Amino acid sequence: MDYKKYNIRILSVLAGVLIFSAVLNYFVNPFNVFPQNQSVLNRVRPALKRQERLTKQVALRSIKDCDTIFIGTSRVDFSLPEDYYQKITGKKAANLAFEKSNFSEQKYMIYKALKHQPGIKTVLLEVDFDFSYCLKESDTSSLENYDRDGLHNYTSVLLSGDALSASFKTLMKSFGHNKKEYKGYLQNGVMAVYHNKNIDYKFDETINQYKNTGKGYASAPDLSLLKLLIKDLNKQGVNVVLCLQPMHTTVYEVVNQNGAWDKVEIFKKELAKIQPFYDFYYPSEYSNEEITPDMQYFFEASHCTYLLGEKILDKIFLDKGGYGYLVREDNVDVLNKQHRRELEKWEKENPQLVERVRRIRENGLKRG
């Protein structure tokens, strides 16, 4: 047996598999880290949210002429579309938000973006009552580890089994998706508006997740780290836009039943002392949306869709539309009183939802 020829054949097969994997993953682009346009191969990206602490950093290197970055948690990640921002401003944006990001990780991504994209002029930074009430420095090792090994990063998105699995899943969904169930997509392929037959359970699940929001919070928020970050970015000529993302009013009711709506008001007052901010965290015609399988503005109680995200961008960058407020020190008290009245009005009009929230807060979630 000619072992040399045998080994060459084995190596050739392995090389072919690796080349096939790299080419497939590059053109299908399941994690949206390469600059190809959306096509029939990836009109739906079901694996887009995998490994975002890695993929967002890899994608950052391929972005050109970026003017604005969106920073925050999954509430920003899911709702603020880069293509719509470019449509209304003529400028490019990069959405660098990812699930459960803490303040230190967000700060890390801001400075990394500034390093790779020195033309960035604006940072849209999410500040949330539940995540930002008392800021502290946290571990960023997961991001730093990705930053140290660029070759490993590209191997992960081109040659790994996870990437190959994501590509096949993307192809299957893109060619075989149910148009009746899935009604809307962003340009990058992520599902945006959909029909969810289990929406009631999804809402209950989220209410249960947030059932302790506001409990045990300090009498006043600690926003000193945020103040230092804004000051440093301003010194570098970067404009910081602060934004409170919306949630469904059922979550506001959780906070209120926990006796913590006054903490929301204090949080907004302290935030306004640092700088004006855009507020969407209050009962509104959108946050009050009826819970049905065909909801347009919310996936579940804590995440809004891109349809509401577009209205948020309209308000912030065009000062257009009747949704949202620019909150300042001279109007925060008036707006706080107005939003409290709106919440009380919603409670009177929705006694069944009030009771539903109370039941989940007290007893937890029971399916069936």
Rounded to two decimals, what is the model's pTM? 0.85
pLDDT of residue 60: 77
pLDDT of residue 368: 53
pLDDT of residue 239: 98
Backbone angles phi, psi at 103, to 5 degrees: -60, -40
**Facing residues of 7 across strands?**
none
| CA 70/CA 73 separation, integer angstroms | 10
70 Cβ contact list (under 8 Å, min separation 6) = 76, 80, 82, 93, 94, 95, 96, 97, 124, 126
* Second CATH level (architecture) for the domain 69-143+169-363: 3-Layer(aba) Sandwich (3.40)
| CA 108/CA 119 separation, integer angstroms | 17
pLDDT of residue 348: 98
Report mean pLDDT in 10-residue bins for the chain, 368 residues.
Answer: 72 80 81 71 72 76 88 92 94 92 92 91 94 80 63 70 80 65 48 73 94 91 95 98 97 97 96 98 98 90 92 97 96 98 98 97 80
User: Which tokens go with 330?
Assistant: 């001279």
DSSP-assigned states of every residue in 66-106: EEEEEESSHHHHHH--HHHHHHHHSSEEEE---TT--HHHH
Q: Under a CB-based contact definition with an 8 Å cutoff, are residues 324 and 310 in contact?
A: no
> What is the domain partition of the chain in residue ranges?
69-143+169-363
pLDDT of residue 1: 53
325: left (phi over 0), alpha (psi -120 to 50) or beta: beta
